[in-house]
């Protein structure tokens, strides 16, 4: 039973430490990039609408890889592009049109009934979906961008880790005192 408790204690400490480090990374990365966090060259984007459901659930985060040459994309690739009002959209390519040197992509959200109104110019393509999605974590990342969210997501895991460490130390001291009490009774 003591081995199980020790393993659980170590596991909880590791999980809380990793959570604290991850939250620090997310907050710092979001602030440094001025937007979405970036990991190993992939940008994390929050899914804000249901236009790509069931592929992406609203509130999920997706990893996209910035593109240097967006002219090599093909039908069924999922791309992130700049819409006319500087808003980023992530939709699937349903057709590729080539006219001389100009390539445009016809896109559509998986959950939309019709294709997007305007074709996407290659220079407006920002990134390509990498295949990595985590459902509902986007809500947490969006919250971490606010002042209250940043403070809470940095402080809460730290408080939990410190509290857990304090409880562990208290239990260890209690066990030591208990052991000394038994030794003292045996010497009389």
Task: Note whether 9 and 43 are same-domain residues.
Answer: no
CATH number of the domain that 86 lies in?
2.10.109.10
- Is 1 part of any domain? yes
Does residue 186 belong to any structural domain of this protein? no
Pair 112, 164 in one domain: no
33 is catalytic: no
In the three-class reduction of DSSP (H, G, I as helix; E, B as strand; rest coil), residue 61 is classed as strand
Q: Pick from 26-30, 111-115, 145-149 the range whose average pLDDT is largest.
A: 111-115
Of the two residues 85 and 47, the one the predictor is more confident about is: 47
The token pair at 1 is: 């039973």
Shared domain check, 85 and 135 = yes
| Mean pLDDT, the chain, whole residue set | 82
pLDDT digits (tens, 9 = 90+) for 68-106: 888 889 999 999 999 877 788 999 999 999 988 889 999
Residue 26 dihedral angles phi and psi, to the nearest 5°: -60, -45
Domain span at residue 129 reads 36-140
pLDDT value at residue 128: 94
Q: Are residues 44 and 30 in the same domain?
A: no
Tally of residues, the chain: 188
What confidence score (pLDDT) does residue 170 get? 85
Are residues 4 and 45 both part of a single domain? no
Residues 126 and 44 in one domain: yes
Q: Does residue 174 sit within a domain?
A: no
Q: Which of 17, 33, 49, 146 is an active site residue?
A: 49
pLDDT digits (tens, 9 = 90+) for 125-138: 999 999 888 888 77
Give the total number of structural domains in the chain.
2
Write the pLDDT tens digit of every residue in 1-30.
Answer: 778 878 887 888 788 777 777 766 766 666
For residue 139, give the nearest of 66, 59, 35, 76 by alpha carbon: 59
User: Looking at the predicted structure, is the pLDDT value of residue 172 above 60?
Assistant: yes
CB 128 within 8 A of CB 65: yes
| Residues 24, 102: Cα–Cα separation, whole Å | 43
pLDDT at 181 over 70: no
Report the alpha-carbon distance of residue 21 to residue 5 in Å, rounded: 24
Same domain assignment for residues 70 and 155: no
Contact 134/60 with Cβ under 8 angstroms? yes
Among 34-38, 45-49, 65-69, name the one with the lowest average pLDDT: 34-38
Do residues 14 and 62 both lie within one domain? no
Identify which has the larger pLDDT, 185 or 14.
14
């Amino acid at each position: 039973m003591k081995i199980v408790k020790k393993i659980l204690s170590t596991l909880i400490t590791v999980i809380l430490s990793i959570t604290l480090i991850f939250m620090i990374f997310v907050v710092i990365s979001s602030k440094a990039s001025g937007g979405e966090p970036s990991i190993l060259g992939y940008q994390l984007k929050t899914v804000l609408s249901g236009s790509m459901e069931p592929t992406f659930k609203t509130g999920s985060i997706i990893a996209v890889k910035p593109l240097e040459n967006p002219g090599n994309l093909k039908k069924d690739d999922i791309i992130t592009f700049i819409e006319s009002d500087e808003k980023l959209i992530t939709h699937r390519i349903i057709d590729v049109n080539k006219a001389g040197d100009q390539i445009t992509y016809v896109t559509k959200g998986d959950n939309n009934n019709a294709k997007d109104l305007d074709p996407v110019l290659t220079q407006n393509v920002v990134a390509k979906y990498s295949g990595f999605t985590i459902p509902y974590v986007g809500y947490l990342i969006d919250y971490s961008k606010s002042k209250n969210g940043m403070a809470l997501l940095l402080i809460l895991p730290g408080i939990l880790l410190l509290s857990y460490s304090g409880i562990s130390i208290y239990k260890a001291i209690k066990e030591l005192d208990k052991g000394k009490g038994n030794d003292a009774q045996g010497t009389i």
